[in-house]
Amino acid sequence: MARAFLFVLDSFGIGGAADAERFGDAGADTFGHIEAACAAGEADRGNLRQGPLAVPHMRLLGLGHAAAIATGRPLPADVIPAGFFGAAEEVSNGKDTPSGHWEIAAVPVPFEWGYFPEIVPAFPAELTEKLITQGEIPGILGNCHASGTEIIARLGQEHIRSGKPICYTSADSVLQIAAHEEHFGLRRLYRLCETARRLVDPLNIGRVIARPFAGETPDTFQRTANRRDYAVPPPEPTLLDRVEAAGGRVFGIGKIGDIFAHKGVTEVRRASGNMALLDKALEAMDDARDGDLVLANFVDFDTLYGHRRDVAGYAAALEAFDRRLPETMARMRDGDMLILTADHGCDPTWRGTDHTRERVPVIGTGPGLAPRSIGLRRTYADIGETVAAHLGLPAGRHGTSFLDQLDDHARTT
């Protein structure tokens, strides 16, 4: 039997999407622009980081080669990859978190999500009225497109005084509700989001997100780790459901449970921060048995650095993650497969604060798996189908496994 470890570096795109212009993202390249900024000394920040981007372990797995495949740039001449490497492009219609993760799990999203217009007020009056009445709140603040940290700093004190939650959206198909954990109450916030979830279903909104925060002043307001996503369930069984149906377990690290509406997730392990999430992922690797899948989302790349357009912070987070990859590799045994990928881009050098349409890296390794190119995959679903084939599951409908390309010799399955 086999085990599979699928790590999603949330928003770590590598540029080159053929349809980027349709999304207003032609030229976006999260990895390439971070790397260039570091090389030019534009991402130096005191003791946080200095100099060229230092991610030697991901480069050894083929990150630079994957980026070359995605963008058409020359292949790096200074690294001979020790892992398999390639790039994948998204066929789903959005550049949001659920679409990217579902497609990675072999279920692309062919339909269009509902979105709120970039006007003020952003929400339909009928929705707002029902949310106030059914949610038993005195009103709402915000009602616009906004960055979560900015709008909490701007409206947090008014929220505390008035008891009105802060409601906002973005270019994603999402309604976010921010409220103070103590003054408003965490359970009350969750109940309000459950109400909102029912109300936005007819609008085909992908997620309602509870955004609790703490602190008493704009300088001390800080979002807490008690975020909760209320997502539409995938339209058909994903890789996760297939693993469970075959008797395996799925360990969902971070917000994986929320993204998949808790379908196909055997056990959820939460933490706050990339390093704490990696600790949880390593613990799950230790606990995983034959036939199990560990699926982890590392959200800081996106929420703390991509959306906030923090190049130095993003670079430092990549370097911190890379330094700990040897701990991951040390836990692998015969029959294991590790894949690192992403769900979309969020270029910190790009205009605005939204996700960017990009191809994503597909790099990985495992005992008996050949270090070679898997080329450009025409859908993220190839990732899920490769994991399925590795775990001995029947093929699905939407992608093509590249496992046969990696067979150097007999593998333990």
pLDDT of res. 408:
59
pLDDT of res. 146:
94
Tokens in use for 117?
A: 């217009």
Whole-angstrom distance, CA of residue 350 vs CA of residue 356:
8
Neighbours of 248 (CB within 10 A): 23
Tokens in use for 159?
A: 């929220």
Stretches where the chain sits below pLDDT 70 are 1, 408-413
pTM score, two decimals?
0.92
Question: Maximum distance among all alpha carbons in the chain?
Answer: 67
pLDDT of res. 162:
98
Whole-angstrom distance, CA of residue 35 vs CA of residue 342:
17
Whole-angstrom distance, CA of residue 103 vs CA of residue 176:
23
Whole-angstrom distance, CA of residue 318 vs CA of residue 316:
5
Whole-angstrom distance, CA of residue 184 vs CA of residue 53:
42
* pLDDT per residue as tens digits for the range 121-165: 999 999 999 999 999 999 999 999 998 889 999 999 999 999 999
Angstrom distances, CA of residue 140 to CA of 33, 147, 195, 201:
38, 17, 14, 20
Q: Which residues contact 184 (CB under 8 A, 6 or more apart)?
A: 159, 163, 165
Whole-angstrom distance, CA of residue 121 vs CA of residue 282:
44
Tokens in use for 208?
A: 């309602």
